[in-house]
A and B are shown apart, each in its own frame.
With several copies, the nearest count.
Chain A
Amino acid sequence: METSRTDFVVRLAGESGEGVLSLGEMLTTALARLGYEVYTFRTYPAEIKGGTVLYQLRVADHVLLSYGSCVDVFVALNEEGYHDNIHSLRPGGTLIYDSDGVPAHELPDRCVIPIPIGTIAKKEIGSALTKNMVALGAVLRYVGAPVEAGEQIAEQTFKRKGEEVVQKNFQALHAGYNYISQHADCLKPLLGGIEKVNPDRLVINGNEAMVLGALHGGLAFYAGYPITPATDIMEALAPVLPRFGGIVMQAEDEIAALGMVLGAAYAGKRAMTATSGPGFSLMVEQINLAAQAEIPAVVVDVQRGGASTGLPTKTAQGDLNIALYGVHNEAPRVVMAPTSVEDCFYLIQHALNIAERYQLPVIVLSDQSLAHRRCTIPKPDLMRVPRWERIMPEPGTNGEYARYAITETGISPMAIPGMPALAYTSTGIEHNEYSDPTYTPENLQAMKGKRFRKLEHLNEHYAEQFVRIWGEPDDAEVGIIGWGSTEGVIREAMQLAEREGVRVAALYPKMLMPLPVRIIEEFAGKVKKVLVPEVNFTGEFAAYLRSQTNVRPISYARDTGLPLDPEEVKEEIIRIARM
């Protein structure tokens, strides 16, 4: 890791429903527009009002891998938030607090800046609604950003509400900005210079990247049922998909959502749904139908914390088991997991492709931390993932059409209603090639074999392209095999560990089922010890690796509702290396 001039972490904490998240998002956008790299994290209570929201933003002039371990600037907007987070502020860091809401504080070794945000907004500007702008101005000033960065945001945000509102917010922004200029005696420029703003970068979160990827991937039909933290996918698609000629339906529940998706896919559309754990549970029966009747379907599961209703707004990687195994009896499915925000854009296209080509359900495991992680990514390459179309039969083989023809790849050409003389009945009952119900042992074995061959084919031909290896496995003391949203944190932890002299490599398979066993075993064979870090309680991926490969990994399962911390993982890497 080169030394760099800009790399700091700002944490905002305040009352839920009071605009902390939008303050964070505005700050993020403002700094990103100046050309810095950003990487964020948010966590908030399950209720609409009350409780503390936390927004963390890391800013740097180099590519970021995590939202950082220790806080340089802590902005406390309510008392509870102050108490819960002040311990994270590093010595030498700065506390900015709303002196209207948080009692006065002295802190050794920290710079402390009180600012009466509400008073300024109400007294000076004449509108409590401008509090957020006061705060934005203050933070921008503190980190050393020009006030114009805030003005641009204010203008964009309030344009719709008329010039007067925009002006009020400009005033508020300046008031906060100036207050810090005048009252802070520990101003240090945190932002270094930026050569040139790179126009080819986006500031975007995982859910948004997935939406753009799905649109680019030819999504034509979306049905869903609201559920945190997946809802924004449907909300983002609703106004946009029709512009692309597609349809968005809010269904009566998740069962209906997937039913509609299967109907649309059967009728020839690229279709998907997105949900989280509880909704995924309800989809299990029809995912099985998709597999058995061979209907393409993409199901995104944005994992959240806790079993049952659990921790709806927290993060976890706890749905791997149900994604892999949530099926009575056995039918093939593909399970994929994007590892970064950028990945969300590409992986969903692959998911749509694989579903179409292989005629089966593809489950995409994202999670709350990735879904809401807003960060800078290179502008996506629209040419990278070529479109795969459904394999269709020749038209008009009247009456002779074997919908479930037994083929070498396991893929049988699939007709679409409307195609002449290829009418067939799609069915979840065991059937012969012509889709007639058939119960013989021979047929069962032939058909199940055919369906599972699709996974073999996929694995053989495409598994490698979904594996990413970081570092040099040869002779690494610790080899990490991870999955999903932890990749950035792990890469950062690797850098930290290497600085302490431990050689580490990491492997991330983005396709988890079928599992690229050969590549994994090869990697594991090169490293001394294998560590599997994941955000859950029982170590699901580690157990899965044990069941499918000859690897005997050390499980590092941490289930807290929060993403892993690079420091913490580094410690574990070192512990294991020295074991």
Chain B
Amino acid sequence: MAEAQTISLQTQPIQRQPKDYRSDLEPIWCPGCGDYGVLNALFKAMSQLNLDPDKTVLVSGIGCSSRLPGFVVTYGFHGVHGRILPVATGIKLANPELTVIGVGGDGDGYSIGMGHFPHAARRNIDITYIVMNNQIYGLTKGQTSPTSSTGFQTKTTPFGSVEGAINPLQLAIVSGATFVARGYSSMPNQLAKVLVEAIKHPGFALVDVFSPCVTFNRVQTYDYFKGKVYEIPDTHDPTDKFAALRLAEQEEPFPVGILYRVDRPTLDEQVAVIKQQAYTPAPSVEQLFRRYQ
């Protein structure tokens, strides 16, 4: 079997600081872009978990937000538009020891990537998926996204969008995600806390983050969110699916924090069990020949 060896040198346990995760590549985001807040919260969360950059992979698609992996010193996979989840699934299955985190935009994940989202959730693959939801297409200069509100005007919807918006939290919950949370890029500590829990969670964890696009979204601005975001109170029971669905229904103000969290065997665990049970030490193809004799 051509299994590439994961080389692991004996090193002192070190406590990494947030800045230790920053790469040399300067973020190319517009000044004020919400994605800076997400990046910083991610640095904090990684530091709190003391994640080993050599054993962490950030997987992204295409979009302003999807440039994030380049700004972090971990391994990264900057693929094509909309395919974060299959790639992340392949990586995690191939090497369950890796911490795999998907990072991308709302267009990438909920529009072109929608075909994979409910499937990753129902499989409960143990990855974290952070969506920088600016309710618009940033990189292509401001078109409507599936999370844009009805009536939203862009160059592709000059008469206002006539489509209902996707509710990614509810979608994740009913699809079988075992961890569903929301963050806001301007609440970096709260977001970092949520990210820590999401990354620690064994199973598919969605963290949808309001991350304003200051250049193209003239509606969901920092001003807009002022007073429209509140932390989910401790009284909420995150294991209650319907309570979580109801919470996810709320708009203006929007709850942030962990809406839903339950335990269910992960895909990678279960695949590992199958592998273990089926595994025959030194199986031979020679042996299989007999079937054809």
Contacts and interface: CB of A to CB of B under 8 A. Distances in A.
- Is A–B contact present in the complex under a CB 8 A cutoff? yes
Interface stretch (B24-32, B184-192, B217-225, B228-236): B24-32
B111 interface: yes
B14 interface: no
Contacts of B12: none
B81 to A, nearest CB: 7
B93 A220 contact: no
Contacts of A69: none
Interface of B: 1-4, 6-9, 11, 24-26, 28-31, 53-59, 62, 64, 67, 69-70, 73-83, 85-95, 97-98, 107, 111-112, 114-116, 119, 137-141, 143-144, 146, 155-159, 215, 271, 274-275, 277-280, 283, 285-286, 288-289, 292-293
A285 B62 CA distance: 13
B285 A256 contact: no
- Interface size class on chain A is 35 or more
Contacts of A424: 75-76
Interface of A: 17, 33, 46-51, 199, 201-204, 208, 212, 215-216, 218, 220-221, 223, 225-228, 231, 234-235, 238-240, 242-271, 278, 285-286, 289, 293, 308-309, 352, 356, 379-380, 382, 387, 389-390, 392, 395-396, 399, 415-429, 435-437
Query: What are the 10 A-B residue pairs with the smallest beta carbon separation, nearest first?
Result: A263-B90, A259-B86, A425-B76, A268-B4, A418-B6, A218-B2, A260-B90, A242-B278, A267-B94, A264-B94
B90 A428 contact: no
A289 B4 contact: no
Contacts of A50: 26, 28
Contacts of B93: 221, 247, 249, 260, 263-264
Contacts of A201: 293
A420 B54 contact: yes
A253 B288 CA distance: 29
B31 to A, nearest CB: 7
A231 B80 contact: no
B194 to A, nearest CB: 24
A208 B271 CA distance: 24
Given A48-B139, A419-B7, A263 B87 contact: yes
Contacts of B158: 238-239
B138 A48 contact: yes
A269 B55 CA distance: 16
B90 A259 contact: yes
B289 A243 contact: no
A371 to B, nearest CB: 14
A253 B274 contact: no
12 contacts: A243-B283, A253-B111, A256-B115, A263-B86, A264-B93, A265-B90, A293-B79, A356-B2, A423-B53, A426-B78, A427-B78, A437-B70
A418 B8 contact: yes
Contacts of A416: 4, 6
A421 B55 CA distance: 10
A264 B289 contact: no
